[in-house]
Amino acid sequence: MSSTRNASPAQRAISERVLALAGLVQALAQVRRIADTGQANNAVLTTALESVFRIDADTPAEIYGGVEALRPGLVLLRDYFVRDTKDEQLPRLAMAVLQLERRFVRESAMAERVQAGIRAQAIQAERLGSSHPDVLAALGSLYAETLSHLRPRVLVQGNPHYLGQANVVAEVRAVLLAAVRSAVLWRQLGGSLWDFLLRRRDMIAALNGYLD
């Protein structure tokens, strides 16, 4: 895994944005898994949820607990850029979250409410663990009371058996909150939809640097 220490400022910016996008797709892949099977990968789930509570981290990598924790997302993102995506719904879901993020940041009162809700749960998350059912329920309720009211809504498809269970729905919403957190981070780092059109080669190079 290469370092960005000797990279140019432009290369470092791309590399940081790649991490945020990897966090986004990694969270959304987990949303898809939970919706389909009712089960999460505990390590990936923890990475997503803890990123929600790391509001004041110094670097993008620290938000996710290190680059290695994002390896599944980095692989998924590279697969997308080289057109080897196996889950066709995942890119559409990612685009829906990026659109939702644009609406969310314009709603300053809602953004403040979400941040306050996250901070209110931080102590409980530290005490019980970020993936504890009580924490998942609280984050799921926060998403339901705020972001779920924005349009366009993020529609998650899956197994009706699992999506009819309150605990599974709460978990899906909690991880969607983590996905939105990554989308906000990507924008804060200078990301835009032009990245996908004009900087694809640079992003693939950054992904290869992390993965090779």
Task: Give me the number of domains the chain comprises.
Answer: 1
Query: What is the C-alpha to C-alpha distance for residues 175 and 16, in angstroms, rounded to an integer?
Result: 21
pLDDT band at residue 3 under the 50/70/90 scheme: very low
Domain limits at 206?
9-211
In a domain, 112, yes or no: yes
Q: What is the pTM (predicted TM-score) of this model? A: 0.95
Query: What is the C-alpha to C-alpha distance for residues 104 and 199, in angstroms, rounded to an integer?
Result: 25
133-142 mean pLDDT: 98
The residue that leads in pLDDT, 100 or 2, is 100
pLDDT band at residue 152 under the 50/70/90 scheme: confident
In a domain, 36, yes or no: yes
Q: Does pLDDT of 7 surpass 80? A: no
In a domain, 3, yes or no: no
Q: What pLDDT is recorded for position 37?
A: 98
Q: What pLDDT is recorded for position 86?
A: 79
Alpha helices in the chain (DSSP H): 9-37, 42-53, 60-63, 71-81, 89-106, 108-128, 133-145, 160-163, 166-188, 194-198, 200-211
For residue 100, give Cα distances in angstroms to 13, 144, 181, 194.
23, 14, 11, 17
In a domain, 1, yes or no: no
In a domain, 4, yes or no: no
Structure tokens at 44: 């990936």
In a domain, 111, yes or no: yes
In a domain, 131, yes or no: yes
C-alpha angle with apex 55: 44 to 115, nearest 5 degrees? 105
The CATH number of whichever domain residue 161 belongs to comes to: 1.10.3890.10
11-40 mean pLDDT: 97
In a domain, 2, yes or no: no
Q: What pLDDT is recorded for position 94?
A: 95
Render pLDDT for 159-199 as a digit per residue (tens, 0 to 9): 999 999 999 999 999 999 999 999 999 999 999 989 988 99
